Each structure stands twice: as structure tokens, then as C-alpha cells.
Structure 1
Amino acid sequence: MRPRVGVWLFGARGSVATTTVAGAAALTHGAPPAGVVTAGPAFSSAGLVPIEDLVFGGHDVTETPLAKQVERLVAGGVLPAGLDGLISAELAAAERNLVVLPIAPTQAEVIELMAADIRAFAERHSLERVVAINVASTEPPYEILYDDVGALRSALASGSPLPGSCVAALAAFEAGASFIDFTPSTSIRPQVIRDWAVERGLPFGGQDAKTGETLVKSVLAPMFTARALPVHAWSGTNLLGGGDGATLADPRAAESKNVSKERGLVDMLGPDVAGQVHIDYVDPLGDWKTAWDHILFSGFLGVRMTLQFTWQGCDSALAAPLVLDLARLSALALERGHVGPMPFLGFYFKDPVASTEHSLSTQYEALVAWATS
């Protein structure tokens, strides 16, 4: 039997996770791998685990069956009609690997219980390695007051000093899994969490996957720089429905997202570009999102000009192939014994860990160079 890789999803019953599991199953039935970058010829020699050899499991706070989630996504046009019947066996297999987040008096105990779930998953399926990916709802910013792993361990044993995303990361590390944060939540931002990963000899990466507006920005901003066209203002409005939109309707959660979305422009164009990013929750949009951007720039002899673009897409369908890519790539990092941050995964993120590079083409070249080295 070929060695298989486990993919442990935090937020495993959400739209992104469900689309990922359903999409992976659809690919094994012959669906085209649109959006799966690692399925392209540039990665054919990288030795990545085949998608059909990924085994899915995960934690969530709810118990809504995956099959019901898939039915909802099919009804909303996120997944093709009839897919739920075609992949029923794969959904049932993944369902057996999903568990509810445990509750315990201290976060140290919660971390150990979550890690035990991941270890049991790996043992049950004789998995060669496990990669963990956070696709749960975005959290508000959270300040971690500990800068020493020993002090943090003591605090965890006596209370609950961390947000859920940090707990998820530590549970992954305790289980011997790599960790990727698909969200802008706190998780691996604090140095002490990163130190914990290094202490365990494990890789981590993220954060906040770029699937729409920011993806376009990472292509357009370098264009203005390369053509010596000064950008004066860049403003954006995002209309979101679904669970992501509902979460970001909370100004505290939106703050995490906005900081992440704006950081790339600052790094690419400098701090003097005016304008803001706005996120509005529009419930009837469901799993769909619309972004409109307005860019004011100068041409020769100071002539003012504008560029505007509109991006409309389905967030889950844009995100799911990236989750599959990140699972395969972080599994390769584990296989190679990589320890610490994975800046070569910056191609996928708005706020890439250990990297200030945001140009999509440059990030892609770095990713291919690492994967095929």
C-alpha cells in the first residue's frame, strides 16, 4: 500500500473544509483540477503526495453531517448538481474522522485531548504523516502576554490564556503535525507559538489565504511599480455573504482581516498610498463575494488616471484547491524534515509568514524553486 497523508482540518464542517473534502473526492472521479496549482506540470517532479492518497479528518464545534453540508452547497451552486450522490462513500469515510472540539478545565488538557484525536486518526489509518490546516472562522486580534514556552506551558496548565486558533496550532504540534493557518487569526503570529513548533521540530505557514481581491492586488501593484507609475490611492469594498461574511460583520474580527489585506499594499507600494478596505456583510449573497477596487495613479507629467476592477466569485470554490495544494506542499516539507516557518508558501497568502514578498509572480517562482529543489 502506498503511504498516505492525513489532512486534519480545524473548522472541518465549514464551507471551505466541506468543499475541500468534496472536491478531493470529485477529482478522484475524474473532475478537472481547476485551481489546483500543484497539479500543473511545474510540480510534476516534486514528489508530492497524490490527492487520492489524502485522508481527511478534523475538529469542529458543530455536528452537522458533511453530507448535509454538501447538499446545502449543491443547492447554492457552490458544488455541481449530482456530486453529493457520486461521492457519498468518500463523505461517509471523512465523516467518521470528524470529532467535536473537546472541553476540559484547562487549555493544557484541551490541547492534549485534541492532539490525542489527531494521533488516533493517524494510527487508525496508518498514516505516514499528518498536516493540520486551520479553516475555522476568523478571530478578533488577540494579544499574547507570554514570550517563553515554559511560562506559556505553566499558564495553560492553570487556565485559558489563548484564543482557539493558538490552541489548535499547539494541538497540531503536540501531535507531530505541521500547521497551516488559512485565516488571519492569531494562531502562529506570536513568537512563543512559533518557538513551540521549532521545539517540536515541525514546520508552520500561513496566513490568510488570498483568493480574490488581494490576489488581483498582488499582480497589479507590481505592475505599477515596474512601469514607474505612482499610485496615490487604492480603495476597496468587499461584499460577503455566508458564514465568513457573518463572522466579519463583527468589527473586531474584521480588524484581523483588514490588517492582513492592507499589509501587502504597504509592502509593495509604500505607506503613503491613501484609501481603505471596507467589508460589508450581505446575507443574501450566501457563499458568494464581490469586491470592487478603485486605484488612482499618475501617468507621464502627472496626468491623473484611474483603474477599477470588480471581482465576483465563490469563496469556498476559490479556497478549496488552495487547501489541497497546501496539504501536499506541507506534507513535502514534513518529509524533508523542514523545521520552522515556510516562507516559500507565500504565494498563497495575504500576510505570508517570515516573508515581506507579495508579488504573485515572484512568489510563484520561489514556490516552484523550493518544491523542485
Structure 2
Amino acid sequence: MTTEPLKRVGVWLIGARGSVATTTVAGRAALAAGLHPPTGLVTAGPAFAGAGLPPLEQLVFGGHDTHPTPLPKRAEQLAEAGVLPHGLPSAVADELARVDAEIRPGGPQPDDPRSDEQLVDAFAADIAAFTTGHGLARTVVVHLASTEPMPAAGDARAPASALYAAAAITAGASYVNFTPATGMHAEGLAARAAAAGLPHAGRDGKTGQTLLRAVLAPMFAQRELAVRAWSGSNLLGGGDGATLADPRAAAAKNAGKARALADNLGSEPEGETHIDHVPALGDWKTAWDHVAFDGFLGTRMVLQTIWQGCDSALAAPLVLDLARLLARAHELGHAGPVPGLGFFFKDPDTDPPGLAEQYRELLALADRLAGRS
């Protein structure tokens, strides 16, 4: 299959100075320079060879954020916390500074007098100027901002994620929602994206506890073991933990976790998942699950799991995967939700629900992008 000459692709990050975004930018620079292997990068596997994905060195980053801490300083903080390798921030300092210069003020701030329409136009103008200013073939907008509360009746303003999704459409960019925020699920936006010929994917990246649940839940269903209750707990530090201390934000996060169980078990079992903010954990998290189930002759049994990890390090390679896949889908004229990308999300836009089935769909997508099917 012949392809056009390589062209640079923009990746516009919403929440561009957050932990996930900083890890993504620093990590891409490290991989492009050959400083580290692409561990965790799904699209680095042989199944994606020949799929026409933009090379990592062809990605150009910018974004929106409301926080003033520059990326080089944020990377130093993450290295001190053990999220980034020691010495990496200095090794990629020039790239971090270049990207930080492309970050524009986000919003809306609490006292912002602009209407939703004015904000959308302003955000879209930033994205369009970035795309044209760098001579980019296309741009992918990736929403990585802190979890926003579930919309409530009577809210005066549309969710920020929906404003950014609308801005992406206006700017002619594809869109990834890596958070449980509203995004493209706001009324009318998905139809607008499809009409504009823009692909999108989401929502809520499947990185830790829910990834493990997506593996374990089918095991119980396939072995005809009756799950009586599935309870869990998350201990989180960092900004995400502070955000999720808000019950409305936690409810948005837990909705995706519950869907993963319901989709794979056929119904949602008893039990709740609790999210607790533990500032001492910093950018690390601990997730515990307790599964009560019945076996043959009603024998009662329990499975317990503990997942300890760093969400930023788990999420960053998936952000790169999704940016590359959406850029290629956009190049080939795909519009609307992209089949095969449910593998990456708790609350995917497309079927099927099972992780193994989702992976097969992802491989089928790789074949389509490569022109092999």
C-alpha cells in the first residue's frame, strides 16, 4: 500500500501541565531519542507495522491548561516522586520548554465573563492557530483534565469537556476523551463530528483497577461462577485524588468502573467502590478488590486483588497510542466513533465489552488502517 510522504501531526492536550500530559510529553521525547524502550505502547507491537501510524518523532504537542507551573518544573516534580526516571527531565528539557511555549490558558475560570460560544471559539482559534502555525497535516485533541463532576440539572454553563470537544470540531480536529467527563457525549456533538468527517474515541482510559476487572470478570462468567458481590477501594494521592474527593466527581469515575462489571457479568453485582484521597501517596495509587462468589454446590469463595501503581505511567503510552490511531483514522476519512478503540476505555463508544474481544477488534482496526482488510 502506498502512502503520502510523512507529515507532522499535532497532539493538543487538555490539561497539558498535568501529570499524565507531562509524562506523555517527556515519555514521547525519551522514546523518540532512543533513551527508553516503548514499554506499554500498544502501537509499538508488530501488529501495527505497516498501519501508517505517524511516527513518534512526527508528533508536535501543545495544549490548554489553567495551571501556571511550566512543564520543565512539573517534570522535575514527577522525577522526584519516582514517576519519571531520574535525569530524564534534564535530558529532554529543550522539548519540554518547546511544548510549554505552546500551552494556552484554558478554562472556564470561575470569574470568566465569556459565554460558552465565545469560549468554544477562543479554544478553537488556539487549536487552529497551532495546526496552521506548525504546518501540521492534522491535529488530535486529547482530553486529560481532572475529572469533572457529573452535570447537574440547572448548571448555568456546559461542562468544560463539552466546550473543548465542540472546539475540536470547530477547529477540524479529531477528539479523544481519556477522562469520564461529558466530552463528545454532550447533546448534538457526536452528530456534528460525524457530519464534519471527524473521528473520535472515548471515554475514561482503562489503566488500572478497571483493566484488571475487565480481565477477571469474564473469567467468572465463562466458568459459570456466580458473583455475589464485588467491592473495591481506591487510595489516591496527587491532584486526581483531591479532585475525586468531590462526591460528584467520584460518581462520574465510578460509573465507568461499574459498567465494566455489568458488561462482562451480564448484571451489576452488589458492592460499592470507594475512592479515598491520601495526599501522602502523591502520584501513586492502591486499588483493592474483594470478590465474593459461589462455586459448585454453592461453595462460597473469595478472591482479593491489590493493584499498586502509577496512573500517569500507565496512561501516557495509551495517550500516544490513541493520538497515533486517531490521526491515521482521520487521514483515511473515518468519521464518528472508531471501531476497535474500545480496548482503551472503561466506557467505550463502541462494542464489544470484553477485553479479549476488544483486543481482536483493535487488531482488526490495525489491518484496516494498513489496507490489509
Q: Normalising by structure 1, report the TM-score.
A: 0.93
1-structure distance, mates of 2:224, 2:234 = 28
Name the counterpart of 2:358: 363
Amino acid at match of 2:365: W
| Range moving further from structure 2, 206-215 or 299-308 | 299-308
Confirm or deny: 8 A CA contact 1:166 1:186 kept in the other structure. yes
The DSSP-based 3-state class of the residue aligned with 2:271 is: coil
2-structure distance, mates of 1:272, 1:120 = 46
Match of residue 236, structure 1, among 232, 235, 250: 232
Name the counterpart of 1:25: 29
Match of residue 277, structure 2, among 262, 278, 281: 281
Gaps of 5+ in 2: 369-373
Deviations 1:219-270 (A, max 9, x none): 1111111111111111111100000000000001101001111111111113
Gaps of 5+ in 1: 146-158
Confirm or deny: 8 A CA contact 2:12 2:62 kept in the other structure. yes
Q: 1:52 to 1:262 in 2, by over 3 A?
A: same
The DSSP-based 3-state class of the residue aligned with 1:294 is: strand
1-structure distance, mates of 2:47, 2:341 = 15
2-structure distance, mates of 1:104, 1:199 = 31
Matched, 1:111 2:111: no
Amino acid at match of 1:179: Y
Match of residue 132, structure 1, among 124, 141, 144: 141
Q: 1:320 to 1:272 in 2, by over 3 A?
A: closer
The DSSP-based 3-state class of the residue aligned with 1:372 is: helix
Confirm or deny: 8 A CA contact 1:293 1:309 kept in the other structure. yes
2-structure distance, mates of 1:180, 1:108 = 21
Name the counterpart of 1:121: 130
The DSSP-based 3-state class of the residue aligned with 1:264 is: helix
Matched, 1:250 2:250: no
The DSSP-based 3-state class of the residue aligned with 1:233 is: strand
Matched, 1:268 2:264: yes
| Range moving further from structure 2, 268-277 or 117-126 | 268-277
1-structure distance, mates of 2:277, 2:48 = 38
Confirm or deny: 8 A CA contact 2:339 2:361 kept in the other structure. no
1-structure distance, mates of 2:317, 2:62 = 17
Q: 1:128 to 1:104 in 2, by over 3 A?
A: farther
Name the counterpart of 1:292: 288
| Range moving further from structure 2, 231-240 or 263-272 | 263-272
Name the counterpart of 2:367: 372
Q: 1:369 to 1:321 in 2, by over 3 A?
A: same
The DSSP-based 3-state class of the residue aligned with 2:162 is: helix
Within-5 A mapping of 1:1-373:
2-30=6-34, 31-101=36-106, 105-142=114-151, 161-271=157-267, 273-355=269-351, 357-373=352-368
Shift of 1:108: 1.0
2-structure distance, mates of 1:371, 1:144 = 41
Shift of 1:372: 1.4
The DSSP-based 3-state class of the residue aligned with 1:180 is: strand
Shift of 1:142: 1.0
| Range moving further from structure 2, 299-308 or 10-19 | 299-308
1-structure distance, mates of 2:66, 2:89 = 23
Aligned residue pair count:
359
1-structure distance, mates of 2:268, 2:183 = 30
The DSSP-based 3-state class of the residue aligned with 2:165 is: helix
1-structure distance, mates of 2:6, 2:214 = 38
Shift of 1:60: 0.5
| Range moving further from structure 2, 106-115 or 5-14 | 106-115
1-structure distance, mates of 2:224, 2:21 = 41
1-structure distance, mates of 2:353, 2:153 = 26
1-structure distance, mates of 2:156, 2:104 = 21
Shift of 1:303: 1.0
Name the counterpart of 1:150: none
1-structure distance, mates of 2:345, 2:186 = 18
Q: 1:222 to 1:165 in 2, by over 3 A?
A: same
Confirm or deny: 8 A CA contact 1:287 1:314 kept in the other structure. yes
Shift of 1:89: 1.4
Q: 1:170 to 1:347 in 2, by over 3 A?
A: same
The DSSP-based 3-state class of the residue aligned with 1:188 is: helix
1-structure distance, mates of 2:176, 2:39 = 22
Shift of 1:104: 5.4
Amino acid at match of 1:360: L
1-structure distance, mates of 2:268, 2:213 = 16
Confirm or deny: 8 A CA contact 2:294 2:301 kept in the other structure. yes
The DSSP-based 3-state class of the residue aligned with 1:273 is: coil
Confirm or deny: 8 A CA contact 1:107 1:160 kept in the other structure. no
Amino acid at match of 1:68: K
1-structure distance, mates of 2:331, 2:53 = 10
How well do the aligned residues superpose, as a CA RMSD in angstroms? 1.6
Shift of 1:143: 5.2
Shift of 1:161: 3.4
